[in-house]
Amino acid sequence: SKLPANRIGLWVQNQFTINNLWRLQPGLRFDWSGANHRSTVSPRVTVLFTASPSTNLKFAAGRYTQSPGYEKLVQSDFFLDLQGKQVENLLHQRSDHLILGIERKLSNGVATRIETFYKTFEDMIVGRLETETERLARIERYNFPSDLQASIPTDAIITSNPSNDARGNAYGFDIFVEKSAVAPS
* Residue 73: per-residue pLDDT: 63
Cβ-contact 99, 117 below 8 angstroms: yes
* Residue 39: per-residue pLDDT: 94
Q: Establish how many alpha carbons lie within 13 A of residue 68's alpha carbon, considering only the half-sphere containing its beta carbon.
A: 30
Neighbours of 64 (CB within 10 A): 17
* Residue 107: per-residue pLDDT: 86
pTM over cut 0.85 = no
Q: Establish how many alpha carbons lie within 13 A of residue 118's alpha carbon, considering only the half-sphere containing its beta carbon.
A: 3
Residues of the chain with pLDDT under 70: 1-4, 71-78, 183-185
* Residue 183: per-residue pLDDT: 67
Tens of pLDDT, residues 110-159: 999 999 999 999 999 888 899 999 999 998 888 888 888 888 888 999 88
* Residue 74: per-residue pLDDT: 60
CA nearest to 159, candidates 127, 136, 131: 127
* Residue 18: per-residue pLDDT: 95
* Residue 24: per-residue pLDDT: 97
Q: How far apart (Å, rounded) are the C-alpha atoms in residues 139 and 154?
A: 7
In sequence order, the β-bridge partners of residue 150 are none
In the chain, DSSP assigns E strands to 7-13, 16-17, 22-33, 38-52, 55-66, 93-105, 110-129, 158-179
